[in-house]
Amino acid sequence: MRVVLADSYGMCFGVRDAIEMALTAHRPQELTVLGELVHNAEVLRRLREAGLRIAPSLHAPAETPRVMITAHGASNAAIADLRAQGLQVEEATCPLVRHAHRMLERLVARGYFPVVIGKRDHVEVLGLVGDLDEYEVIEKADEISRLAGRARLGIVSQTTQPLEQVQAMVAQIRRTYPQSEVRFVDTVCAPTKERQQAARRLAAECGVVIVIGGRSSNNTRQLVRTCEAEGARAYQVESVLDLHPDWLLDVDTVGLTAGTSTPDEVINEVYQALLRFAGREMPLAA
């Protein structure tokens, strides 16, 4: 059996920066992260071991005088409310999420009705729309009917959505409302695009693809769907403990990729396990 690594894998810079900010914080035992800093169980374990507290969500009561906004961002209103409570707020928001916020704000300022393509209950999307009086979040094609009667539509996307899926949704909105002015700003982040493209190439070469990432990680779930769409059998794992040798029976080539919040050491552990299944072992290339 041959093990093939995707061209693009491992943590993106936004996730690395957020973790670095949390782990190097002054007196981490006095810091509460409001929600999952990133959607990865191993990273959250490391943060807890370092003494940080992790609240269930952005709106959960803080146990410390200092709090941290996760990499997924938050609305200005939510941050202002935290400060009004006397809390010191530190923001670990990914710069590419900040970019999505700015683009949506500009569209609204220019008179467009705001539309976000993404998951309605995802923390990033909640942050994007949290300062808006009216908006629509569109996840599926049958929700496009909610946009009826809007003369000007300004569209952005959750940063971890597959670009092709977003573009298809925008095209359908334009077909459905040809009389409306539709302005789309591409806010899918570069690491997501690169990861999706690499997963597509990997799945075309491999009968089975192992995708490493947190259960609640949207970009990891999208990688699984991308591989499946290319005809590969895709399995999502959080760590080497989730691997099943039965998945690899009678498989000539297995591919390996990972979500943008997966630590390098977890990727290496899974890679080494796959090589052991294949009867050989070698270091993971840097």
Active site residues: 124
For residue 125, what are its two tokens?
Answer: 């999307």
> What distance separates the 2 farthest-apart alpha carbons in the chain?
62
Buried b (16+ CB within 10 A) or exposed e, 155-164: bbbbbbbbee
Residue 109 and residue 111: Cα distance in Å, rounded? 5
C-beta neighbour count of 89 within 10 angstroms: 18
Query: Any idea what DSSP says for residue 61?
Result: P
Kindly list the distances between the CA atom of residue 56 and the CA atoms of 44, 84, 189, 215, in Å, as whole numbers in the listed order.
12, 20, 26, 16
Q: Who contacts 116 (Cβ-Cβ below 8 Å, separation ≥6)?
A: 104, 125, 128, 129, 135, 136, 137, 138, 155, 156, 157, 158
